[in-house]
């Protein structure tokens, strides 16, 4: 499978996205061409799961029709072809995020990737205590007195694995607080992150607030403390250019289903020198060199962390999704979604009784907006919008501590993507404007 890349000079030469182009793009997404409750579908839930273009659907279908076989295990023709397209897909994703081939690991989703790091770090303490593995493991092992730092805005997937790692190792979990507008308190970050910090984990872009966090500033604090830096890129990789090397993080995770790919596929990036010494998380076939009845020796990364039968067709489809995004131009996608996000915030702020979370209009955000309608529960808001053919997300969005900090239990979230038009946003705003009257709030 060829790796498609768009040179920066070509991407800059492309015109900005507009409604006319987006309407052409929509033709690539069959699911969008339907009626919901008698209304044309307006899909504003891409922050949860994005839709799939035909090229991605066909890539997975073509694998099953022409190349379906186990990878890395057979000498027959189909097995060789399956392995080639599987590893070509890895190279495509490595290029997409600016990583090395050996630093790109397949997972089921970002949550698995974060758990992989967490369990590998707790296994590091066990291995180091028994003199097993590389000497560098002792520096990675956590114990009482060590600290793990997250932020108050984290998705549960980037919070609970660290809570459990602290429980398993005796380390202390701390967090960087936010301001009332959702911004990280960087003055507090400088004091929370210190000599005891062994892990610093934070989201690139908040799935509730829409805020894009200052990655380089946070990473610099982590580097000064000698901490491992873990980036949750689930809400950034689909929407803006991502280069893990330039961001200087040690690990990063993303989920395919948020970037035009199928469910069941994710990616973990890790610096090669770390991956090659960390103990594996899952063990079994395909990730070993030698096995006796007493012990096993493990392959280097990436196979070291890919036990068992892999997500082959999903990886191939994820590579097709990355190619689609690259060909469209992530800078252009980000600019268009930013425009849609601003349009949403401006419109929502103008509706009486609506409170928008995150940055106010005019400040940078990704193309999503979570909001509270005074006197109406978020689930009722979501059902009202659905009756008008508008799909949004309702609930705490797997961020209960963040909602609690902002005095809420649930919100409604609209999240746009490259296939949404300004008309989609306007239909959404018109519907939200009628919510309180409908419920007599």
**Domain annotation covers residue 2:** no
Quick one: tokens of 296? 């096993």
Quick one: tokens of 350? 């103008």
Query: Phi then psi for 174, rounded to 5 degrees?
Result: -125, 165
Cβ–Cβ under 8 Å, residues 17 and 333 = yes
Better-scored residue on pLDDT, 240 or 130: 240
List, for residues 128-141, the tens digit of each pLDDT value: 888 888 878 989 99
**Domain annotation covers residue 93:** yes
Interatomic CA distance for residues 125 and 36, integer angstroms: 53
Asked whether residue 395 falls in the same domain as residue 286, the answer is: no
**Domain annotation covers residue 3:** no
- pLDDT of 13: 62
Is the pLDDT reported for residue 1 higher than 70?
Answer: no
Alpha carbon 8 to chain centroid distance? 23
**Domain annotation covers residue 248:** yes
Asked whether residue 275 falls in the same domain as residue 353, the answer is: no
* Beta-strand pair 197-203/411-415: unpaired
Task: For tokens 């400040």, name the residue.
Answer: 363
Asked whether residue 316 falls in the same domain as residue 351, the answer is: no
Asked whether residue 287 falls in the same domain as residue 337, the answer is: no
Query: DSSP characters for 204-217?
Result: SB-TTT--B--HHH
Cβ–Cβ under 8 Å, residues 124 and 258 = no
Quick one: tokens of 372? 């509270």
Region 268-282 average pLDDT = 95
Asked whether residue 38 falls in the same domain as residue 66, the answer is: no
Asked whether residue 277 falls in the same domain as residue 396, the answer is: no
Interatomic CA distance for residues 401 and 140, integer angstroms: 28
**Domain annotation covers residue 354:** yes
CATH number of domain containing 78 = 3.40.640.10
Is the pLDDT reported for residue 409 higher than 70?
Answer: yes
Helices and strands (DSSP H and E) totals, the chain:
17, 17
CATH number of domain containing 34 = 3.90.1150.10
Query: DSSP characters for 47-105?
Result: TT-----HHHHHHHHHHHHHT-S-SSS--SHHHHHHHHHHHHHHHHHHHHHT--GGGEE
Asked whether residue 357 falls in the same domain as residue 416, the answer is: yes
% of the chain at pLDDT higher than 70: 97
Asked whether residue 322 falls in the same domain as residue 407, the answer is: no
Region 231-235 average pLDDT = 98
Interatomic CA distance for residues 241 and 373, integer angstroms: 33
Counting beta carbons within 10 angstroms of the beta carbon of residue 21, is it exposed (0 to 12), middle (13 to 18) or buried (19 or more)?
middle
Cα separation values, 349 from 231, 412, 433, Å: 31, 14, 11
Asked whether residue 342 falls in the same domain as residue 254, the answer is: no
Can you say whether the dihedral through the CA atoms of 285, 289, 291, 294 is positive or negative? negative
**Domain annotation covers residue 1:** no
* Beta-strand pair 266-270/354-356: unpaired
pTM equals 0.95
- pLDDT of 130: 87
List, for residues 288-314, the tens digit of each pLDDT value: 999 999 999 999 999 999 999 999 999
Is the pLDDT reported for residue 10 higher than 50?
Answer: no
**Domain annotation covers residue 420:** yes
Report which DSSP code applies to 16.
Answer: P
Asked whether residue 376 falls in the same domain as residue 268, the answer is: no
Which residues have CB under 8 Å from 122's CB, separation 6+? Answer: 142, 165, 168, 169
Q: Which domain holds residue 142?
A: 61-326
The total number of structural domains in the chain stands at 2
Cβ–Cβ under 8 Å, residues 396 and 410 = yes
Closest CA to 428 of 50, 17, 51, 40: 40
List, for residues 62-103, the tens digit of each pLDDT value: 999 999 999 987 789 999 999 999 999 999 999 999 999 999
Helix 77-97 and helix 312-328, axial crossing angle in degrees, nearest 10 = 40
Asked whether residue 84 falls in the same domain as residue 125, the answer is: yes
Among the candidates 302, 326, 350, a domain finishes at 326
- pLDDT of 74: 79
- pLDDT of 186: 97
Is the pLDDT reported for residue 57 higher than 90?
Answer: yes
Is the pLDDT reported for residue 323 higher than 60?
Answer: yes
List, for residues 188-222, the tens digit of each pLDDT value: 999 999 999 999 999 999 999 999 999 999 999 99
Interatomic CA distance for residues 406 and 378, integer angstroms: 15
Region 57-65 average pLDDT = 97
- pLDDT of 7: 38
Cβ–Cβ under 8 Å, residues 386 and 19 = no
Is the pLDDT reported for residue 259 higher than 60?
Answer: yes
Quick one: tokens of 357? 């979370």
Local confidence band at 184 (pLDDT 50, 70, 90 cut-offs): very high
Out of 54-68, 228-242, 283-297, pick the least confident.
283-297
Cβ–Cβ under 8 Å, residues 412 and 378 = yes
- pLDDT of 4: 38
Asked whether residue 339 falls in the same domain as residue 316, the answer is: no
% of the chain at pLDDT higher than 90: 92
Is the pLDDT reported for residue 161 higher than 50?
Answer: yes
- pLDDT of 11: 43
**Domain annotation covers residue 273:** yes
Average pLDDT, the chain: 95
Q: Cα(first)–Cα(last) distance of the chain, in Å?
A: 56
Among the candidates 278, 306, 326, a domain finishes at 326
Q: Which residues are catalytic?
A: 398
Quick one: tokens of 14? 């492309």
Interatomic CA distance for residues 198 and 261, integer angstroms: 33
Interatomic CA distance for residues 100 and 244, integer angstroms: 10
**Side-chain half-sphere of 418: how many Cα atoms within 13 Å?**
29
Among the candidates 310, 326, 342, a domain finishes at 326
Interatomic CA distance for residues 350 and 10, integer angstroms: 39
Is the pLDDT reported for residue 330 higher than 70?
Answer: yes
- pLDDT of 73: 79
């Amino acid at each position: 499978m060829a790796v498609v890349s768009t040179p920066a000079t070509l991407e800059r030469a492309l015109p900005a996205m507009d409604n006319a182009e987006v309407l052409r793009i929509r033709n690539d997404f069959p699911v969008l061409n339907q009626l919901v409750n008698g209304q044309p579908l307006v899909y504003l839930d891409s922050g949860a799961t994005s839709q799939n273009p035909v090229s991605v659907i066909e890539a997975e279908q073509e694998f099953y029709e022409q190349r379906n076989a186990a990878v890395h295990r057979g000498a027959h023709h189909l097995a060789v072809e399956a392995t080639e397209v599987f590893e070509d897909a890895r190279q495509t994703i490595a290029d997409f995020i600016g990583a090395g081939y050996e630093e790109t690991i397949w997972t089921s989703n970002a949550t698995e990737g974060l758990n992989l790091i967490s369990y590998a770090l707790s296994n590091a303490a066990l291995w180091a205590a028994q003199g097993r593995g590389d000497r560098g493991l002792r520096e990675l092992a956590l114990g009482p007195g060590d600290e793990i730092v997250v932020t108050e805005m984290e998705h549960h997937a980037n919070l609970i694995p660290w809570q459990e790692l602290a429980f398993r190792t005796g380390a202390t979990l701390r967090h960087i607080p936010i301001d009332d507008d959702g911004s990280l308190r960087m003055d507090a970050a400088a004091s929370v992150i210190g000599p005891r910090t062994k892990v610093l984990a934070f989201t690139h872009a908040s799935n509730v607030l829409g805020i894009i966090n200052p990655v380089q500033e946070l990473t610099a604090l982590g580097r000064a403390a000698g901490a491992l830096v873990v980036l949750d890129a689930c809400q950034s990789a689909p929407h803006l250019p991502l280069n893990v090397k330039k961001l200087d993080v040690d690990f990063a995770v993303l989920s395919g289903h948020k970037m035009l790919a199928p469910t069941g596929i994710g990616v973990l990036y890790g610096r090669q020198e770390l991956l090659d010494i960390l103990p594996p998380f899952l063990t079994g076939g395909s990730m070993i060199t030698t096995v006796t009845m007493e012990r096993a020796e493990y392959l280097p990364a990436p196979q070291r962390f890919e036990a068992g039968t892999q997500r082959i067709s999903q990886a191939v489809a994820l590579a097709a999704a990355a190619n689609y995004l690259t060909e469209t131009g992530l800078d252009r996608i980000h600019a268009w979604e930013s425009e849609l996000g601003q349009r949403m915030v401006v419109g929502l702020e103008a509706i009486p009784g609506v409170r928008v979370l995150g940055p106010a209009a005019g400040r940078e955000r990704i193309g999503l907006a979570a909001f509270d309608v005074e006197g109406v529960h978020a689930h009722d808001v979501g059902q009202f919008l659905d009756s008008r053919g508008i799909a949004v997300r309702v609930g705490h969005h797997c961020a209960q501590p963040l909602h609690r900090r902002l005095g809420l239990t649930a919100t409604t979230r609209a999240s746009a993507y490259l296939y949404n038009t300004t008309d989609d946003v306007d239909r959404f705003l018109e519907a939200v404007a009628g919510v309180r009257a409908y419920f007599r709030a």
